């Protein structure tokens, strides 16, 4: 048979396959999420997220060293306070766990890019992402507090803030507050497209932030919608976002693709705790090849259009890049 076109010619060996690879992956595009708990000498396992740990500000060095050793230079920090109240006041405390962690990291690891999650759910006694008024989240009152939280993070040394609350106008409020306080050079990675998802379950256990009543569907998005995602992303751009995030990732590859094609900002995909926990559970049961699934799912997010991936598998993916398994 005479065939002119033979696609298999470009699959003959590993070097050839890498030469024509369409999706390129670099360690510099990985962000590793880390939980910081108030206290001292804490390194504790997270039962719902096998392999992940909570650290106190004084033990975070171990985690940072592990990340640096494999070439992951971006950390996304989540704070877990000892005491909570109705208005989440510990979220902007100068001596808060997250603020102290940032100070320590920037002193010991100046090469790291420190990103901080800006939200109130970990800090409020009711577990919602804002200030309550008659059991409803008061959007505009919440904006004032979120702006205060963001400023406290960059005053501690954070390189970037990432508001995850999904309040209307929060990117603009934070941008104005940062600029007013002399931090015009600090970037905002907005959780622009954050869906109300069942994939967040393990995270809420890890951070102790499940709502004590109701749910978050009045501020997080309905997973049936994609045009709404583009509207949210566009609004955040107009308010000053520097990076757009889609969360979760694996069930929202179509959304990642649409956001990437519609806007000119970098797009981050957050592969969330439930995605991580499912792979871990299946691997522990001997049902799948963990490394193979991690590699395949990570590449799918990049292929969909993500420029950045936030993942609890960041360190493992970095090692896979060194091994030549992906990248």
Catalytic center residues: 194, 247
- Is the separation of the CB atoms in 153 and 102 below 8 Å? yes
Q: How many residues does the chain have?
A: 327
| Counts of helices then strands in the chain (DSSP H, E) | 11, 12
Task: Tell me the H-state helices in the chain.
Answer: 14-19, 60-70, 97-108, 139-156, 170-180, 201-207, 227-239, 253-262, 273-284, 290-304, 314-323
CA distance 299 to 117: 25
Going from the C-alpha of 37 to that of each of 99, 134, 226, the distances in angstroms are: 11, 30, 35
Whole-angstrom Cα Rg for the chain: 20
């Amino acid at each position: 048979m005479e065939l002119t076109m033979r696609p298999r010619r470009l699959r003959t060996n590993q070097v050839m396959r890498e030469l024509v690879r369409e999706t390129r992956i670099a360690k510099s595009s990985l962000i590793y999420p880390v939980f910081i708990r108030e206290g001292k000498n804490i390194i504790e396992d997270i039962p719902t997220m096998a392999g992940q740990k909570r650290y106190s500000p004084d033990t975070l060095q171990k985690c940072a060293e592990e990340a640096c050793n494999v070439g992951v230079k971006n950390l996304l920090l989540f704070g877990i306070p000892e005491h909570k109240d109705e208005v989440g006041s510990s979220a902007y405390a100068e001596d808060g766990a997250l603020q102290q962690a940032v100070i320590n990291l920037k002193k010991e690891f100046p090469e790291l890019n420190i990103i901080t999650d800006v939200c109130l759910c970990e800090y409020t006694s009711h577990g919602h992402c804002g200030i309550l008024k008659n059991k409803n989240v008061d959007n505009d009152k919440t904006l004032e507090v979120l702006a205060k939280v963001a400023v406290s993070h960059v005053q501690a040394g954070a390189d970037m803030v990432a508001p995850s609350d999904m309040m209307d106008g929060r990117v603009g409020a934070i941008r104005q507050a940062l600029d007013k306080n002399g931090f015009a050079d600090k970037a905002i990675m907005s959780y622009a497209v954050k869906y109300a998802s069942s994939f967040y379950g393990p995270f809420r256990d890890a951070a102790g932030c499940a709502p004590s009543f109701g749910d978050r569907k009045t501020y997080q998005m309905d997973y049936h919608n994609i045009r709404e995602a583009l509207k949210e992303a566009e609004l955040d751009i107009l308010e000053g976002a520097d990076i757009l995030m889609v969360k979760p990732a694996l069930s929202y590859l179509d959304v990642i693709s649409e956001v990437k094609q519609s806007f000119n900002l970098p797009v981050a995909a957050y592969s969330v705790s439930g995605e991580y926990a499912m792979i871990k559970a299946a691997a522990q049961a001997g049902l799948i090849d963990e490394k193979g699934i991690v590699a395949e799912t990570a590449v799918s997010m990049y292929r969909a259009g993500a420029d950045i991936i936030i993942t609890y598998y960041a360190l493992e993916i970095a090692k896979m890049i060194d091994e030549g398994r992906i990248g």
